[in-house]
């Protein structure tokens, strides 16, 4: 069975600092991997996805993620945090339906 | 753009009431899903549907039922609401047969409070 682990339920960074949100997955088949973002009192919005091909995936709002099969990881990064990035982030792996991690809340301090 | 709409953003009900949460999508997606979201627990799948009149239990179906009479509409029903069903409810849809790698599109959510 497929599963997702997000390390760290809360991450805090200063504005302008690097953002790194960690995601590890377990899958018996080549995975499809997703990162979603949820702003307060809103639904989830797709940030980026990995399906096949290039392992470095670029998404919206300057975020990117790298699929590393050897490490079973799909960590999300952004070189320079902005106050508007404060939100909850969910990693997910696809198995006909999506299997979500428990989420990481990102706080950005001025 | 895919649009998934939910009938209410905020809902307050009393214990024992029957509650209907409605979800409509406008992109002819075959699959529809209902999740609940609670702090520290992430998203948990309640029910999903692959086609009209078809439904499958998710991870936490107890206390809930669903109805899918039309392709675009998926309803979540709380037969007798209880306080432990106070939560954020999210609806999502996706293409069938693993289309678009099972990417799901979400509605804005309904925050339900049961008193």
* pLDDT tens digits, one per residue of A13-30: 999 999 999 999 998 777
Dump pLDDT digits (tens) for A80-109. Answer: 999 999 999 999 998 767 889 999 999 999
Which chain A residues are within 8 Å of B36, Cβ to Cβ?
Answer: none
Arithmetic mean of pLDDT, B87-97 = 90
Residue of B34, B44, B87, B101 to mutate, interface with A, max A Cβ within 10 Å = B101
| Three-state secondary-structure class, residue B102 | helix
Q: What is the model's pLDDT at position B100?
A: 65
A49/B101 touch (CB, cutoff 8 Å), yes or no = yes
Q: What is the model's pLDDT at position A1?
A: 76
Q: What is the DSSP string of A77-89?
A: EESS--GGG-EEE
* Phi, psi at B102, each rounded to 5°: 70, 20
| Three-state secondary-structure class, residue A93 | strand
Selected residue with higher pLDDT from B42 and A58: A58
Give the residue from chain A lying closest to B94, CA to CA.
A97
Q: How far apart are CA B43 and CA B37, in angstroms?
A: 5
**Band of pLDDT at residue A56, cut at 50, 70 and 90:** very high
Give the residue from chain B lying closest to A95, CA to CA.
B102
Arithmetic mean of pLDDT, B27-49 = 92
**Band of pLDDT at residue B1, cut at 50, 70 and 90:** low
Over 70: is that where the pLDDT of B2 sits?
Answer: no
- A30 DSSP assignment: P
> Which among A12, A63, A5 is positioned nearest to A36, based on CA atoms?
A63
Is residue B27 within 8 angstroms of chain A, CB to CB?
no
Task: Choose the most confident range, by mean pLDDT, from A39-43, A52-56, B31-35.
Answer: B31-35
Beta bridge partners of A44: A38
Arithmetic mean of pLDDT, B45-73 = 95
Q: How far apart are CA A54 and CA A33, in angstroms?
A: 13
Task: Choose the most confident range, by mean pLDDT, from A14-18, A50-54, A69-73, B36-40.
Answer: A14-18
Contact A28, A84 (CB under 8 A): no
Selected residue with higher pLDDT from A39 and B95: A39
For chain B, the average pLDDT equals: 92
**Band of pLDDT at residue A41, cut at 50, 70 and 90:** confident
In this structure, chain B runs to a length of 115
Residue B6 C-alpha from the chain's centroid: 9
Which chain A residues are within 8 Å of B4, Cβ to Cβ?
Answer: 43
A44/B92 touch (CB, cutoff 8 Å), yes or no = yes
Which chain B residues are within 8 Å of A51, Cβ to Cβ?
Answer: 101
Q: What is the model's pLDDT at position A75?
A: 97
Cα-based distances in Å from B3 to A61, A75, A94, B93: 21, 28, 21, 9
């Amino acid at each position: 069975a497929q599963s997702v682990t997000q390390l760290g339920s809360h991450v805090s960074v200063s504005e302008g600092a690097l953002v790194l949100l960690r995601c590890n997955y377990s899958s018996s088949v080549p995975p499809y991997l997703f990162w979603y973002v949820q702003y307060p009192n809103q639904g989830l919005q797709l940030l980026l996805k990995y399906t096949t091909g290039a392992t470095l995936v670029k998404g919206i709002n300057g975020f990117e993620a790298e699929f590393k099969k050897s490490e079973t990881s799909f960590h999300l990064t952004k070189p320079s945090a902005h106050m508007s990035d404060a939100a909850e982030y969910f990693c997910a792996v696809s198995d006909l339906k999506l299997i979500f991690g428990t989420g990481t809340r990102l706080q950005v301090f001025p | 753009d895919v649009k998934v709409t939910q009938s209410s953003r905020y809902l307050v009900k009393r214990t024992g009431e029957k509650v209907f949460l409605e979800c409509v999508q406008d992109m002819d997606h075959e699959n529809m899903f209902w999740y609940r979201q609670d702090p520290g627990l992430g998203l948990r799948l309640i029910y999903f549907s692959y086609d009209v009149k078809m439904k499958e239990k998710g991870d936490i179906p107890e206390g809930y039922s669903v109805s899918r009479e039309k392709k675009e509409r998926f309803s979540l029903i709380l037969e007798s609401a209880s306080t432990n069903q106070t939560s954020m409810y999210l609806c999502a849809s996706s293409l069938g047969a693993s289309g678009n790698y099972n990417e799901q599109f979400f509605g804005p959510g309904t925050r339900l409070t049961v008193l």
